[in-house]
Amino acid sequence: MIDPYKYVNNKPYKLYINGEFITPKSGKTMDVINPVNNKSFARVYKGGEKEVKKAIKAARKAYDNGPWGKMTNLQRSKLLLKFRDKLSERREELACLEALDCGKLYTSTFYYELPQSIDAFEYYAGKARCLEGKVVPVDGGGNYLNYVTWNPCGVVAEILPWNGPLMMGCQKISAILAAGNTVIVKPSSWASLSLLALASIFDEVGFPPGVVNIITGSGSLVGDMLVKSKNVDMVSLTGGTETGKKIIESSAKSVKNIALELGGKSPNIIFEDVNLENACKWALFGFTLNSGQVCVSGTRIIVQESIYDDFIIQLNKLCKNFKLGDGFDYEKGVNFGPLISKEHCNTVLNYIEKGISEGARLVTGGKKLEGELSNGNFISPTIFADVTSHMTIFQEEIFGPVVCISKFKTEEEAIKLANGVNYGLAGAVFTNNIKRGHRVAEKIKAGQVYINTYFSKGMVESAGTGWKQSGLGVAGIHKYMHSKTTFVELDDNVNPPL
């Protein structure tokens, strides 16, 4: 069995600003807690006002006057590929730190999240060299040329979530840099270790000072300063909807670009003509991945009435195959980890109690684990049946291993249930009738939809967007760019029409 603690620094992890590893003037640190046992195993420095100002100044200079803004797309691409290679060399270390910090399964981080992180830098290194615009035919008797180009926003503040900071951080940062921006990264206070460790790779590879800055600290201070600063051109957040609303309010005075990837309460519609066993396996995967801490999780399963009871029985049986525990105990069969923190664990438990009090039928789970795992944040997969659309657990994002099952008769009723929430992040439909599959998928109000499968098969190639209260802004590399349209007069001595 691997010893993950051999990769943990004894001294607090420093911030990375302007190409230097910085100890904040306050000297304040935060404990890094392992969700498996709620014990501190590392410390990171906590950034404050002075560090935020320094990071903004460094990123501004690197973009406006430094070498980054003057580099060619090819030069930036080569640096991204160098980062990819160094990240690949250190994948075991980064996988260990991410699993310790977030309570993830080590096998998941090493065999999936690290390859996805590495691939993001390779993908966007290619994208950096393919940022094409277009020529637009315009009226004017052939005397005018109009062309559209894509340009970097400038200084981008990227605020990361705690449920997958390494993979999502790599996907966001690589796109930001490929677009030609500089970046200030603020990881979550609950999960910042892997991002601080990445700083040494950016430094080793030779990114110019100020191009990448990584600063920890509270959202109320660090995040708010980044949002309000006139010297930050864009703020991008992956997080909760309530946090997104606050960013919209805080950005009003500076009127900057914002991109928000927010919460979800995604529907998974199961029609009666499916292979029941296969559909149950996908449904289970859809709400239990990463212990349910995935924004696009299929947490509302909408099942046709003729197979409703059989579906619940089968899904309940599959839930018994999970073994909860430390994600590094994969040789002992552990395949289900804890929630990120005590605070979040209590939030999920409160939702479970609300589901019970509002009349939903608890099929399995619903309690915090006792015994040898009682010190951790473990909740076993929880199934609620007979959930109606007015219930809180149907309407609100729980962000844990809790699924709500509802019954429908007709296709129209299924679609109405699917769209009956404020979110529109993802959705799925399972049916052997491919015409119906496409028809229902088209009517689901969400930015990412799956037919007879669950979860994206191309996160960087085909990034989803949030509809309704699930997000704001486009996806992919153009999320971090502005378009510019330019008109050129081709004839000589043309006078304006008067």
**Rounded Cα–Cα distance for residues 156 and 185 (Å):** 8
Compute CA distances 409 → 270, 439, 479, whole Å.
11, 17, 40
Q: What is the pLDDT of residue 47?
A: 97
Q: What is the pLDDT of residue 69?
A: 87
Q: Where are the domains of the chain?
A: 4-262+473-483, 267-458
Residue 97: pLDDT band by 50, 70, 90 thresholds?
A: very high
Question: 325-342: per-residue pLDDT in tens?
Answer: 999 999 999 999 999 999
Q: What is the pLDDT of residue 309?
A: 98
**Rounded Cα–Cα distance for residues 406 and 408 (Å):** 7
pLDDT at 373 over 90: yes
- The mean pLDDT of 349-376, rounded to a whole number, is 96
* 179-183, 253-257, 332-336, 421-425: least confidently modelled range: 253-257
Catalytic-labelled residue, pool 98, 158, 261, 397: 261
Beta-bridged to residue 190, according to DSSP, are: none
Secondary-structure class of domain 267-458 per CATH: alpha beta
Q: What is the pLDDT of residue 497?
A: 76
Would you call 319 a catalytic residue per the annotation? no
Residue 151: pLDDT band by 50, 70, 90 thresholds?
A: very high
Residue 495: pLDDT band by 50, 70, 90 thresholds?
A: confident
Residue 319: pLDDT band by 50, 70, 90 thresholds?
A: very high
Residue 493: pLDDT band by 50, 70, 90 thresholds?
A: confident
- Report residue 338 as tokens: 């804890």
> Which residue is it, tokens 């090819």?
74
* 120-129, 135-144, 463-472: least confidently modelled range: 135-144
Q: What is the pLDDT of residue 173?
A: 98
Q: What is the pTM of this model?
A: 0.96
Residue 345: pLDDT band by 50, 70, 90 thresholds?
A: very high
Residue 181: pLDDT band by 50, 70, 90 thresholds?
A: very high
Q: What is the pLDDT of residue 217?
A: 95
Average pLDDT, the chain: 96
Q: What is the pLDDT of residue 1?
A: 78
Q: Is 214 within 8 Å of 198 (Cβ atoms)?
A: yes
Q: What is the pLDDT of residue 359?
A: 98
Q: Rounded to an integer, what is the distance from CA 133 to the centroid of its chain?
A: 28
Would you call 261 a catalytic residue per the annotation? yes
pLDDT at 455 over 80: yes
Candidates 3.40.190.10, 3.20.20.210, 3.90.1150.10, 3.40.605.10; CATH matching 4-262+473-483: 3.40.605.10
Catalytic-labelled residue, pool 170, 295, 319, 345: 295
Residue 380: pLDDT band by 50, 70, 90 thresholds?
A: very high
Q: Rounded to an integer, what is the distance from CA 433 to the centroid of its chain?
A: 32
pLDDT at 43 over 80: yes
SS3 letters across the chain: CCCHHHHCCCCCECEEECCEEECCCCCCEEEEEECCCCEEEEEEECCCHHHHHHHHHHHHHHHHCCHHHHCCHHHHHHHHHHHHHHHHHCHHHHHHHHHHHHCCCHHHHHHHHHHHHHHHHHHHHHHCCCCCCEECCCCCCCCEEEEEEEEECCEEEEECCCCCHHHHHHHHHHHHHHCCCEEEEECECCECHHHHHHHHHHHHHCCCCCCEEECCCCHHHHHHHHHHCCCCCEEEEECCHHHHHHHHHHCCCCCCEEEEECCCCCEEEECCCCCHHHHHHHHHHHHHHHHHCCCCCCCEEEEEHHHHHHHHHHHHHHHCCCCECCCCCHHHCCCECCCCCHHHHHHHHHHHHHHHHCCCEEEECCCECCHHHCCCCCECCEEEECCCCCCHHHHCCCCCCEEEEEEECCHHHHHHHHCCCCEECEEEEECCCHHHHHHHHHHCCCCEEEECCCCCCCCCCCCCCCEECCEECCCCHHHHEEEEEEEEECCCCCCCCC
Q: What is the pLDDT of residue 239?
A: 94
Question: 208-223: per-residue pLDDT in tens?
Answer: 999 999 999 999 999 9
Residue 324: pLDDT band by 50, 70, 90 thresholds?
A: very high
Q: Are 4-262+473-483 and 267-458 the same fold in CATH? A: no
Q: What is the pLDDT of residue 491?
A: 86
> Which residue is it, tokens 């990375």?
16
Identity (one letter) of the amino acid at 361? Answer: R
Identity (one letter) of the amino acid at 379? Answer: I
pLDDT at 295 over 90: yes
Q: What is the pLDDT of residue 139?
A: 82
Q: What is the pLDDT of residue 253?
A: 86
The pLDDT > 90 percentage for the chain reads: 94
